[in-house]
Structure 1
Amino acid sequence: MSRFTLPPEGILRAREKLVLDHFRDEVLQDWDATLSTFPHPHYELIAQMTVHDGDSEVRQYYHDTRVAFPDQEHEMIALRHANDAVIVEFWLIGTHKGPLGKIPPTGSSHRTRMTAYFIFDEDENLINERVYFDQLTILKQLLGGLDKRNPADLLKLGRAVAGALAMAGGEPDPCLTKTVTPDLND
């Protein structure tokens, strides 16, 4: 299919329903239902340059993020269609009640604007959720909620900064760095 041609309305509606079901099931933390939207679960987190591929890796990602933000939810901003994707802009909202990697819980909330590309193959299978967001926006909100005059919060701040630094500098997933320039000569 040409990149200039959208699929028929019935396909767009089916894709949209699948994506909205996926969002709903994530908020409900119904991982079996969420994972059933993919034949092979695959997430790409561009801000972190990480990939979670396959059922066990994606379940671990879900577990880790819900330990950090047990009340995580989405607030939809917009939904758009492309010839091979549904593109969703949303607010990700949550309270930092558990460790986020090496960052200890701060008790602060965040509301971060994100974009997710739900990419479909030629057989209309969801093959990838690619998420774009700014990590600094989240970290700024998590740390900004601490009282810099409170010794306990200063200790949390120091541990959070040390945790963030310990997580920095990892190697990006090669599937995110080895890209191919598209042929736009048609």
Structure 2
Amino acid sequence: MSRFTLPSEDVLRAREKLVLDHFHDEVRQDWDATLSTFPHPHYELIAQMTVHDGDGEVRDYYQDTRVAFPDQNHEIIAFRHSADAVIVEFWLLGTHGGPLGRIPPTGSRHRTRMTAYFIFDEHENLVTERVYFDQLTILKQLVGGVDRRSPRGLLKLARIVKGILAMSGGAPDPRLLETTPPDFVR
């Protein structure tokens, strides 16, 4: 299929239902249902340059993010179709109630605008969820609720900075670095 040709309306409707079910099941924390939307679960988090590939890695990712944000939810802003993907703009929301990697919980809420590309193969299988967002937007909101005037707040802030520094500087996943530009036929 040409990159200029959209699939049939039936295909677009089926993709849309699958993606909406995926979002709904994530909020309900029904990991079996969420993972069933993929033949092979595969997440790419571009802001962190990390990949979670396969059932085990994706379940661990779900677990880690829900420990950090047990009430994680979303608000869909826009929903678009392309030749091989569904593109969803949404707000991700949550309260930082548990550790986020090495960053201790702040109790602060965040509301972060994101875009996710749900990419389908030629057999209409969901093969990748690729998520774009700004990590600094989240961190600013999490740190913003810390009381910098109290000794306890300053200690928490120091722990947060230590956690951020401990998590920074890791090598990006090479699968996200090896890109091939499209072949533009003129």
Q: Same fold (TM over 0.5)?
A: yes
State the partner residue of 2:48.
48
Gaps of 5+ in 1: none
Alpha-carbon distance in 2 for matches of 1:144, 1:28:
28
State the partner residue of 2:134.
134
State the partner residue of 2:152.
152
- Percent identity of the aligned residues? 78
TM-score by length of 2: 0.99
Alpha-carbon distance in 2 for matches of 1:138, 1:20:
24
SS of residue in 2 equivalent to 1:86 = strand
State the partner residue of 2:87.
87
Q: Per-residue deviation at 1:84?
A: 0.2
State the partner residue of 1:121.
121
Name the aligned partner's letter for residue 36 of structure 2: S
State the partner residue of 2:77.
77
TM-score by length of 1: 0.99
State the partner residue of 1:177.
177
* Residue-pair matches, total: 186
Task: Tell me which stretches of 4 or more aligned residues in structure 1 moved more than 6 Å.
Answer: none
Name the aligned partner's letter for residue 138 of structure 2: I
Gaps of 5+ in 2: none
Deviations 1:5-41 (A, max 9, x none): 0000000000000000000000000000000000000
Q: Per-residue deviation at 1:147?
A: 1.1
Q: Per-residue deviation at 1:152?
A: 1.1
State the partner residue of 2:112.
112
Correspondence 1:143 to 2:143: yes
Alpha-carbon distance in 2 for matches of 1:17, 1:64:
26
After superposition, the CA RMSD in angstroms is 0.6
Deviations 1:146-169 (A, max 9, x none): 111121111111100110011111
State the partner residue of 2:22.
22
